[in-house]
Amino acid sequence: MNPKNTRHHRSENGDTIIATARREGDARNQGYRERALKLYPWICGRCSREFTRVNLHELTVHHRDHDHDNNPADGSNWELLCLYCHDNEHQRQLENDRNPATDITTATVPRGHKPFAELKAQLQDDKQDDG
């Protein structure tokens, strides 16, 4: 018989669920690094630099598909890379993402505006040949 009280109780429950989900998400994100370090030898997958507990913070867990939420238990989406190689890997990915778009625009725009004029000229030539 107290609607206000009920509503307050429900919203409190909602907050708790969200907070719990957030905490679990953080734990999962930190957990994948621990799991990857247990699964793989502490060696950079690119430059083969070896790591120990002393410099382990320079070894990063890279996600092959760049999706940090994709953490399969078998580690198939993880790759251990040193800071430098990890940086390079992401730099290359950025360039790969950018290049196809710029290639298309730079390749088609200069050529793209002339063919229409040439086509028009050709059509006119054809007409003249026929006529």
Q: Which residues have CB under 8 Å from 29's CB, separation 6+?
A: 68
- Rounded Cα distance between 43 and 6, Å, is 56
The rounded radius of gyration (Å) of the Cα atoms in the chain is 29
- Among 32, 59, 62, 80, which residue sits at the site for Zn ion (rule: CB under 5 A)? 62
- Among 18, 21, 47, 119, which residue sits at the site for Zn ion (rule: CB under 5 A)? 47
Q: How far is CA 68 from the centre of its chain?
A: 8
Phi, psi (rounded to 5 degrees) for 63: -95, 120
The distance of closest approach from Cβ of residue 62 to Zn ion in the complex, given in angstroms and rounded to an integer, is: 4
The distance of closest approach from Cβ of residue 67 to Zn ion in the complex, given in angstroms and rounded to an integer, is: 10
The contact pattern for Zn ion, residues 72-111, with x = CB under 5 A and - = no contact, is: ----------x--x--------------------------
Cβ atoms 46, 89 nearer than 8 A: yes
Q: Which stretch binds Zn ion (CB under 5 A): 22-30, 32-40, 60-68, 101-109?
A: 60-68
Does residue 59 interact with Zn ion by CB under 5 A?
Answer: no
Binding site for Zn ion (CB under 5 A): 44, 46-47, 49, 62, 82, 85
